[in-house]
A and B are shown apart, each in its own frame.
Chain A
Amino acid sequence: MRTAFKTWSVCLLLLAAVMLVIGPVAVNAETPKRGGDLVAGYGQFPRHFNHAIQSGAATATPGTQIFASLVEINQKWQPVPYLAKSWEVSADKLTYTFHLVKNATFHDGTPVTSEDVAFSFEIVKKNHSFGPSMLGPVDRVETPDKYTVVFKLSKPHPALFLVLSPPLLPILPKHIYNEEENGPIRKNPANIKPVGSGPFKLVEFKPGDYFVLERYDKFFRPGRPYLDRMIGRKIKDPSANFIALKKGDFHMALFNSGLRLKQVEALKKMKHLVVTSRGYEGIAAIYFLEFNLRKDKFKDVRVRQAIAHAIDKNFITQKLHYGYSKPATGPIHSSFPWYTDNVTLYDYNLKKANQLLDDAGYPRKANGIRFSATIDWYPGEPDSMDTIAQYLKPQLKKVGIDVQLRPPADFLSWYKRIAGWQHDMTMSNIYSWGDPMIGVHRLYLCNNQKHVVWTNTSGYCNPELDAVMAKAAVETDGAKRKALYVEMQQLLTADVPLIWTHEAPYQSIYNKDLRNVITSIWGSMTPFDKVYWKDGHAPK
């Protein structure tokens, strides 16, 4: 009896061990199946498909399916081969040599060559709004032969690989986009009839309504892509989008596509959907309350610190966002490798806030008010903008600040106020775009005070910080660079030119039968050639 039991247990143990080893392998070994459509709703619908001349996720999301790039970035922030099959970096980190794959062709059949890479580099540098900051250090691009590209740098560029990845540097065919033969690039008809070398080609586009991307049969990665078509539809009504996701008519939602968080919460309970916060590590959106530091009332750092102490970030993230967002501690998003929480933190403390305002010389008047300030906010993303502004009104009244709400009539009227530096305070956000030097520096550099939103519209200037950022922008040693960014975060949190309220509550929402949806820090702004349906088609 006892031996029998022993034998059984040994057998069971063995079986368990075998299961443990085989289990994960069996799942991974699921062979990808060809076929099927992927339909997604777009909250912000692209006006054209050339993200070499247009920043923003709306253009880059379909754009990265149409145009290939030199490298992809995986989920560990590492470059992986794409159009470049291999590369070498010189010891001084000033020369990058890329070897291109030889079988890549554009959708019109012409081969992708080094000429096209050099051409695309020039176009992006000149026309993309991050062009000067992200490609400034690149002195020139040489093309010793058809399949070799050499980037010559004037100073080290720690974020070069990120810049060369799909959302930021698409490779355009020179014979279609060059300005000598085809006129100014912004007016090139190929912007709405794009020709790229990515896994999908555009076959139909109805502006403001829908677009259809179809599998490119001669895509250079053999057997790819798996999907037949990718279809994007403009979301005209947020609740229709919600219903389409619920019913399974839409298979994916990007950047929450206008859904309120309570709708996301409802979708999370649906069995056919995956809802995850992954896929936005590169974009790393941070929301903040911006002060116009040209106004006297915000010049004293104690006033800004007081307001920071008066905002309960946990209430925002837990009660108003149901836990979908995270409190932001400083200028750098916590998904970034350079992030630190070793900074000046502002706990929720009304007593301290009142004390700081008294010290700053703003005593409460007879009506209990110290001073008034207006607040504007970005129209759109109501959970992160409108709701927070509505929250700040009663909240700041507790410390004697009378907040007057100025709801934005539309994007343009908000843009005019902020770009015109006419605001007191505004709720706003930025995308960090994979590296602080691309997406973060712009808010704080002294010389970036422009009449354009998402630049240094607060009017902040700190030469010491500028020096740190300048050093970080050329530091290629990972540890030293991180130390510089830690210093940056400490300087900024002590000075609080903005109050970073929370990190984006963005979720990737997609059908659970889709595979390999998130393979990059760029989430949906990455070629979907590896994405496939479990059964080779969308569920009925």
Chain B
Amino acid sequence: MFAANKAALLGLVLGVLIALLTIFGPLIYPTDPFEMVGAPMSPPGEDLLLGTDYLGRDILAGIVHGARTTVLVGFSATSFTVVIGIIIGVLAGFYGGWVENLLMRVTEFFQVLPGLLLAMVLVALFSPSLPTIIFAIGVVSWPPVARLTRAEFLKIKQREFVLAERAIGAGNWSIMWKIILPNSLPPLIVAATLGVGVAILFEAALSFLGLGDPNTYSWGYMIGASRDFIWETWWAVTFPGVAIFLTVLSISLIGDGLNDAFNPKLRLL
């Protein structure tokens, strides 16, 4: 069960804290993260709690306001990934034959391309902005979801209850979406949860490489902007780095917990 996994509980607590920060943070700490509020490169605790970067921008404001972007990208990119992945996986797994053949070859095509590189090309092509980043992350991360969905479909579509549905006259459409899909959701939910963490790391990597949305504050942007000054202002890269680490950790732990909770074999123990 979920609660039985102590680490998962910890993850959940962390996740709730980050959610609270995302929702209420900017209201409690409204300083504009782009504004130069202090002397450049002032260390933590001197002027401001977490110090300032090379331009004199408040690191704490960056953490608080950057959370929104980071979480937004994580969830939107994952939703996008899951939608593409499920549609392709469902069609391939259900129909089989040439449909499956075609869709799986396309999936493999995307799978063999290095994800970060393709995302970089896409972002550079459409100029860096939040929607293009979400799009790029979605485009490069759907293949595993598609393959997982297809595998679940192949497994479930032979079961007796599906055959029973067909026997009483249910159409393809209804069998696909109302019968098989709900029954193959548990592994997909786990995959999607972990996908959020991956998407957040992706955004951070793109921003670090200077391909983030320059007009939106995110943790990845903070690290990328200050990486040249890592010896002078360790705090400007460390704090956003820790924030990313904690967020991804919390998501991974929750994902693990869900995996345990959905696993019928563990349930018996």
> Are B210 and A390 closer than 8 Å at their CB atoms?
no
Is B55 interfacial (CB 8 A cutoff)?
Answer: yes
| Shortest beta-carbon distance from B208 to chain A in Å | 13
Which one, B31-39, B100-108, B155-163, is touching chain A? B31-39
Which residues on B sit within 8 Å (CB–CB) of A260? 228
Within 8 A of A (CB), among B46-71: 54-57
Is A405 interfacial (CB 8 A cutoff)?
Answer: yes
| Shortest beta-carbon distance from B46 to chain A in Å | 16
Q: How far is the CA of A349 from the CA of B225 in the complex (A)?
A: 28
> Are A393 and B127 closer than 8 Å at their CB atoms?
no
> Are A393 and B34 closer than 8 Å at their CB atoms?
yes
Q: How far is the CA of A303 from the CA of B240 in the complex (A)?
A: 37
Residue in contact with A387 in the complex, picked from B32, B55, B215, CB distance below 8 Å: B55
> Are B128 and A407 closer than 8 Å at their CB atoms?
yes
Is B165 interfacial (CB 8 A cutoff)?
Answer: no
Query: Chain A interface: which size bin?
Result: 10 to 19
Which residues on A sit within 8 Å (CB–CB) of B214? 405-407
Residue in A closest to B123 when the chains form the complex, CB atoms: A409
Query: Is chain A's interface secondary structure helix, strand, loop, or mixed overall?
Result: helix
Residue in contact with A262 in the complex, picked from B32, B39, B229, CB distance below 8 Å: B229
**Binary A-proximity of B195-221 (CB < 8 A = 1, otherwise 0):** 000000000000000100011000000
Q: How far is the CA of A393 from the CA of B34 in the complex (A)?
A: 8
| Shortest beta-carbon distance from B222 to chain A in Å | 12
Is A530 interfacial (CB 8 A cutoff)?
Answer: no
Within 8 A of B (CB), among A376-434: 382, 387, 390-391, 393-395, 397, 404-407, 409
Beyond A397-B35, A406-B127, A407-B128, whether A390 also contacts B225 by CB under 8 A is yes
Q: How far is the CA of A406 from the CA of B215 in the complex (A)?
A: 8
Which residues on B sit within 8 Å (CB–CB) of A320? 40, 54-55
> Are B34 and A391 closer than 8 Å at their CB atoms?
no
> Are A394 and B32 closer than 8 Å at their CB atoms?
yes
> Are A319 and B40 closer than 8 Å at their CB atoms?
yes
Is B124 interfacial (CB 8 A cutoff)?
Answer: yes
**Binary A-proximity of B119-141 (CB < 8 A = 1, otherwise 0):** 00000100110000000000000
Which residues on A sit within 8 Å (CB–CB) of B35? 394, 397
> Are B36 and A407 closer than 8 Å at their CB atoms?
no
> Are A391 and B36 closer than 8 Å at their CB atoms?
yes
Q: How far is the CA of A395 from the CA of B34 in the complex (A)?
A: 9
**Binary A-proximity of B227-257 (CB < 8 A = 1, otherwise 0):** 0110010000000000000000000000000
Beyond A320-B40, A394-B32, whether A409 also contacts B55 by CB under 8 A is no
Which residues on B sit within 8 Å (CB–CB) of A409? 124, 127
Which residues on B sit within 8 Å (CB–CB) of A395? 36
Which residues on B sit within 8 Å (CB–CB) of A387? 54-55
Q: How far is the CA of A405 from the CA of B56 in the complex (A)?
A: 18
> Are B55 and A407 closer than 8 Å at their CB atoms?
no
> Are B55 and A391 closer than 8 Å at their CB atoms?
yes
Residue from A319, A382, A395 having most chain B Cβ neighbours under 10 A:
A319
> Are A407 and B210 closer than 8 Å at their CB atoms?
yes
> Are B32 and A382 closer than 8 Å at their CB atoms?
no
Which residues on B sit within 8 Å (CB–CB) of A262? 229, 232
Residue in A closest to B53 when the chains form the complex, CB atoms: A390
> Are A382 and B228 closer than 8 Å at their CB atoms?
yes
> Are B34 and A397 closer than 8 Å at their CB atoms?
yes
Q: How far is the CA of A394 from the CA of B225 in the complex (A)?
A: 15
Residue in B closest to A405 when the chains form the complex, CB atoms: B214
Within 8 A of B (CB), among A87-130: none
Q: How far is the CA of A450 from the CA of B13 in the complex (A)?
A: 61
Q: How far is the CA of A405 from the CA of B127 in the complex (A)?
A: 11
Which residues on A sit within 8 Å (CB–CB) of B36? 391, 394-395
Which residues on B sit within 8 Å (CB–CB) of A407? 128, 210, 214
Q: How far is the CA of A390 from the CA of B127 in the complex (A)?
A: 18
Which residues on A sit within 8 Å (CB–CB) of B232? 262
Q: How far is the CA of A397 from the CA of B57 in the complex (A)?
A: 14
| Shortest beta-carbon distance from B193 to chain A in Å | 32
Residue in B closest to A391 when the chains form the complex, CB atoms: B55
Q: How far is the CA of A320 from the CA of B53 in the complex (A)?
A: 11
Q: How far is the CA of A394 from the CA of B57 in the complex (A)?
A: 10
Which residues on A sit within 8 Å (CB–CB) of B34? 393-394, 397
Which residues on B sit within 8 Å (CB–CB) of A397? 32, 34-35
Top 5 nearest A-B pairs (CB, nearest first) are A405-B214, A394-B34, A394-B35, A409-B124, A407-B214
Residues in chain B within 8 A of chain A (CB atoms): 32, 34-36, 39-40, 54-57, 124, 127-128, 210, 214-215, 225, 228-229, 232
Residues in chain A within 8 A of chain B (CB atoms): 260, 262, 319-320, 382, 387, 390-391, 393-395, 397, 404-407, 409
13 CB < 8 A contacts A-B: A262-B229, A319-B39, A319-B56, A320-B55, A387-B55, A390-B225, A391-B36, A394-B55, A395-B36, A397-B35, A404-B215, A407-B210, A409-B127
Q: A260-B228, A320-B54, A405-B214 are in contact. List 18 more A-B contacts (CB 8 A).
A: A262-B232, A319-B39, A319-B40, A320-B55, A390-B225, A391-B36, A391-B55, A393-B215, A394-B32, A394-B34, A394-B35, A397-B32, A397-B34, A397-B35, A406-B127, A406-B214, A407-B128, A407-B210
